[in-house]
Amino acid sequence: MSATLVLNRRDFMAAGASLVLAGGARAGEPGLGTLKAKAARKGVALGSMVAAKPLAEQADLRAALPGAVALLVPGDEMKWGYVQPRPGPPDFTAAESIAGFAQANGMGLRGHTALWYRNLPDWAAQALLGFDGARVMESRVRAVLGQFKGRVLEWDVVNEAVEPKDGEPDFLRASPFYRGLGPGYVASAFRIARETDPNAKLFYNDYGVEYRYRGMDERRAGVLKLLENLKRNDVPIDGLGIQSHLVARLPFDPKLFRRFLAEVAGLGLAVSITEFDVNDFGVEGDIAARDRVIADYARRFLDVALDEKAVRTVMTWGFSNRESWLNTFAPRRDGQQYRPLPFDVDLKPTPLWTAMAQAFDGAPERG
Ligand code: XIL
């Protein structure tokens, strides 16, 4: 090794290797892949949601993604209302553009989502309540899983089936699926999904299981009950997806969340963090102050999540702060853009990136 190289390496270490990588990384340069590598070292796959439009429009995003993440998931492009707003053949063009990009670049794919009470086209919501509801549900699951058969590693077969506020038995959500088909629709959907794409890992996906806050005990109980019932009845389910849209103003409870994870893992299920981002609504201050709150909150959450070895996938809901669903879903009152993701608008790592890196570094290795 030459003297220059040694010196450079010493300077590099003195500056803090991860900070240099974090600060200096550009699209296509090695630093961008550091977070993925840190996760992979512990047996965790890092992924990102991407939407078809920015993927088509942003060359630097296309250049960055293959090195930076191992998995992609479309944000909306596989949803029922997106592919089939009216009865008739579904249109998977946009979802295929993401699947094709993943495949061409050696990345894996998550599927999101076959059945969700939102983004449900009106015609389907009506049909689910009618005499033909079961067949309509079945053909939707077959259509979307069939389209991507053999290409999806993990499928969110059913999304958000629990809602304690609806007052139904077992805390199930009074969605058109539930009202039209009864509580057994979840089991049916998983059976149809397994038949359609036998090699995909099948997930139930939900939110709101990480806080000590009103209604959240019931949410955890509802999700666990649902998973227990599915397992007891030999329904083909492989895992729980925990969306992890973190809300910095809500009290994260490490103990409750850790116990919940252990209970899910105890059922023999995998756990994926499927839609990670940090919402700092109501957090005041300049960007540095906000980023500190975001990074600290994420670190506390991820340390607990990654402590559970059943967690093997971590997906962020978007790649960079250029676009986040939060800006339209619940805009900040001060008009500032959210900063919920590990890469900033210039695709450079943010303090959240560093928090995630530290959490991966501190995580136990998966066997
Ligand atoms: C969001 C999308 O990102 C937005 O583009 C859309 O307008 C609304 O849905 N939980 C989920 C995701 O499971 O499908 C949602 O995605 C975010 C909340």
pLDDT digits (tens, 9 = 90+) for 34-71: 999 999 999 999 999 999 999 999 999 999 999 999 99
pLDDT at 32: 83
Catalytic residues: 160, 275
For residue 367, what pLDDT band results from cuts at 50, 70 and 90? confident
Q: Residue 260, Cα to own-chain centre: how many angstroms?
A: 18
Q: Dihedral of CA 330/331/334/339: which sign?
A: positive
The residue with tokens 């009216």 is: 86
Q: Dihedral of CA 277/283/284/288: which sign?
A: negative
pLDDT at 140: 98
pTM of the model: 0.92
CA distance 332 to 294: 14
pLDDT digits (tens, 9 = 90+) for 75-128: 999 999 999 999 999 999 999 999 999 999 999 999 999 999 999 999 999 999
Q: Which residue has the higher pLDDT, 84 or 20?
A: 84
Percent of the chain with pLDDT over 70: 92
pLDDT at 29: 46
CA distance 268 to 141: 24
Q: Which residue has the higher pLDDT, 28 or 180?
A: 180
pLDDT digits (tens, 9 = 90+) for 273-321: 999 999 999 999 999 999 999 999 999 999 999 999 999 999 999 999 9
DSSP helix/strand/coil, 159: strand
1 pLDDT higher than 50: no
Ligand 1 centre to CA of 30 (Å) is 31
CA distance 77 to 80: 9
265 pLDDT higher than 90: yes
Mutate which of 76, 155, 243, 272 for ligand 1 pocket (most atoms within 8 A of beta carbon): 76
325 in ligand 1 pocket by Cβ < 6 Å? yes
CA distance 26 to 23: 9
349 in ligand 1 pocket by Cβ < 6 Å? no
pLDDT digits (tens, 9 = 90+) for 120-174: 999 999 999 999 999 999 999 999 999 999 999 999 999 999 999 999 999 999 9
